[in-house]
Amino acid sequence: MHKFHFTTVVSKDHLYKFIAMYASLSIYCDNFKLYVLCASEIVYEMLEVIGLEHVKLIRLKEIENEKLLKAKKDRIFHAYCWTLKPCFLYYVMINYSKARYFAHLDADLCFFDSPGKIFSENKNASLFLTHHRNSKKFTHFYDISGIYNTGFVGCKNDDIAKEAVRQWKNKCIEYCPIKEDTVKKVFGDQRYVEDWPIDFPGVHIVETVGANTALWNVTDYKVTLFNEKVFINKDSLIFYHFSGLAIVNSTVYNICLYYHIDDENIVNYIYVPYLKMLKNSIDEIKRYFPDFNEGFFKRKNLPNTHFYLLKS
């Protein structure tokens, strides 16, 4: 039995980031299986050729049922991918149940330490959520994207977690808007989990600031490097959520679409290592599929916030 069964949804646009996420997870976690829902057939075919250890590929048609196909018709592709997050997590929890813990991982995460530390915070908990911990300039986003970030959602293998994810899945199938609905207080898949601490026992809000550190909170923290490990304040950085990062090519990136990151430690200790992993991902995929050009942005179409040239 594996200790962890992780799930993720991968589209063509996020293929490079997924490869980097998997590479980082492989370094810092053992005894896991990563279940990958391929949002298009080309993603399945490419990953099947590349062949990643610890990965189980699932075609979209394997989980799509009448309700999902109906939802697919009434929302854009991005919103449908958000819909698939709890659907796929529940599918794996039911069909691949021999694990101690489950967790959904967004494809744009990167691990710098073991995810096991998150679950060790509260071994009696059934559900694990990460608070956005928004910095001052992002506090207004609480009214848009909610309190918790669903780039990571952890679950113990128990009935409480299964019921919570089942309800999350059903709500997303019913309604998963691409833009915030301030009346219903819904934004994609994300705000539905806000009810969990009220509706379910055993919900643990992750305490370490080293879990789900991201552009919306990192400026509140002191980032340091000690014994080759990155620290966020006094906590080890477990994973960083690289939302808001755009790839121009294998050496040019806009690392933050929202603002310029002035703290050189954040750039050098967190972003640069990730960019090197992305370059390796691009090089690896290009080695197999030289004509694959998804996931890139034209520089002229991006805001001039923080472009970064990765030196060889």
Query: What's the domain range around 283?
Result: 2-309
Asked if residue 212 lies in contact with residue 239, where contact means CB atoms within 8 angstroms, the answer is yes
Over residues 296-307, the pLDDT tens digits come to 999 999 999 999
> pLDDT band at 311, cuts 50/70/90?
confident
The proportion of the chain whose per-residue pLDDT surpasses 90, expressed as a percent, equals 97
> pLDDT band at 34, cuts 50/70/90?
very high
CATH number at residue 178: 3.90.550.10
Using CA atoms, how far residue 273 sits from 230, 243, 279, in Å, is 11, 16, 10
Of 204, 260, 207, nearest in space to 232 by CA: 207
Total number of domains constituting the chain: 1
> pLDDT band at 282, cuts 50/70/90?
very high
Strands (E), the chain: 2-10, 32-38, 55-59, 99-105, 109-111, 127-131, 148-156, 203-205, 211-214, 223-226, 229-232, 235-236, 239-241, 246-247, 252-254, 307-309
What DSSP state is assigned to residue 206? -
Instruction: Annotate 34-68 with DSSP letters as a single string.
Output: EEEEESSHHHHHHHHHH--TTEEEEEGGGT--HHH
Over residues 147-176, the pLDDT tens digits come to 999 999 999 999 999 999 999 999 999 999
Query: CA 121, 127, 128, 133 torsion: positive or negative?
Result: negative
pLDDT at 182: 85
Read off the pLDDT of each residue in 166-187 and give the average, rounded to a whole number: 95
Instruction: Annotate 123-135 with DSSP letters as a single string.
Output: TT-SEEEEE----
Q: How many CB atoms within 10 Å of residue 173?
A: 18
Amino acid in the structure at residue 283: D
Is the pLDDT score of 57 beyond 80?
A: yes
Q: How many CB atoms within 10 Å of residue 57?
A: 18
How far apart, in whole angstroms, are the C-alpha atoms of residue 4 and residue 32? 5
Over residues 217-262, the pLDDT tens digits come to 999 999 999 999 999 999 999 999 999 999 999 999 999 999 999 9
Mean pLDDT of the chain: 97
Asked if residue 110 lies in contact with residue 239, where contact means CB atoms within 8 angstroms, the answer is yes
Note the pTM of the prediction, 2 decimals. Answer: 0.97
pLDDT at 1: 81
**Residue 111: helix, strand or coil by DSSP?**
strand
